[in-house]
Amino acid sequence: MTDDRTPIAAYWDAAAASFDDEPDHGLRAAPTRAAWAAALRSWLPAGPLDVLDVGCGTGSLSLLLAEEGHRVTGVDLAPRMVGRARAKLAAAGRAGRFLVGDAMEPPTGEARFGAVLCRHLVWTLPDPEAALRGWVARLRPGGRLVMVEGRWREAGERGVPYAAGAETLPWSGGVGAGELAAAVRPLVRGEVRVERLDGRAELWGAPVDDERYVLTADV
């Protein structure tokens, strides 16, 4: 890959080895892991479903989904993230399909999914609203979009882009729930639901004071 995604993929490749050291990334503590498992159960329809985990990272949420009986396809731009995700599910004896690819256009062909999940991804996409349209198009009728997103307080304070070119990302630093809901609403049938997660320290491994939420909507 030698385009404007290269520095972003390189950043995440370099981050892959230590990514799981964060409590909400590696989900190594049993209470944190249990909190995410319960949250995913409450956000997704009863399965088993075909779930597309876009920007799957090291596959921590993919593994929880597989443990719940869902059939997971994970897509990530960074090959080392994908390698870690594959290894994580293999070590746990769970099936999962992981592809190196761009969440802007997941390389999943004509496949349609019962749910599309993303966590902490849209802030680093070059055209997040186009990505949303692509994800909705990959959902079966009645399928569910589940987006765990937020706006990070510290992001604006860094002052430097996290990777070359990142200063032009439209939702750099995250996106507030109101703005994301406004972008999703025209794409879906019915209600867009938002649940705040910043009071849920058990999900993060410690109290947080920036805006975090899950948005769910059905197509």
> Could you list the residues that contact ligand SAM (CB under 6 A)?
8, 12, 25, 55-57, 60-61, 75-78, 81, 102-104, 119-121, 124-125
The minimum distance between CB 70 and ligand SAM, in angstroms, equals 16
Phi, psi dihedral angles at 25 (to 5 degrees): -95, -55
What is the C-alpha separation between 26 and 47, in angstroms, rounded? 24
User: Please, which residue, 164 or 185, has the CB nearer to ligand SAM?
Assistant: 164
Whether the Cβ atoms of residue 177 and residue 211 lie closer than 8 Å to each other: yes
The minimum distance between CB 153 and ligand SAM, in angstroms, equals 16
What is the C-alpha separation between 219 and 208, in angstroms, rounded? 31
> Can you tell me whether residue 16 is helix, strand or coil?
helix
The minimum distance between CB 45 and ligand SAM, in angstroms, equals 20
User: Please, which residue, 130 or 185, has the CB nearer to ligand SAM?
Assistant: 130
Nearest to 39 by CA among 61, 72, 69, 70: 61
The minimum distance between CB 189 and ligand SAM, in angstroms, equals 26
User: Please, which residue, 88 or 185, has the CB nearer to ligand SAM?
Assistant: 88
The minimum distance between CB 83 and ligand SAM, in angstroms, equals 11
> Can you tell me whether residue 13 is helix, strand or coil?
helix
Nearest to 126 by CA among 219, 9, 24: 9
CA distances from 42 to 36, 39, 214 (A): 10, 5, 11
What is the C-alpha separation between 77 and 57, in angstroms, rounded? 9
User: Please, which residue, 24 or 50, has the CB nearer to ligand SAM?
Assistant: 24
**Closest residue to bound ligand SAM by CB:** 57
The minimum distance between CB 59 and ligand SAM, in angstroms, equals 8
Segment holding 192, helix H or strand E: strand 189-196
User: Please, which residue, 23 or 176, has the CB nearer to ligand SAM?
Assistant: 23
Tokens 């997660």 found at = 197
User: Please, which residue, 55 or 173, has the CB nearer to ligand SAM?
Assistant: 55
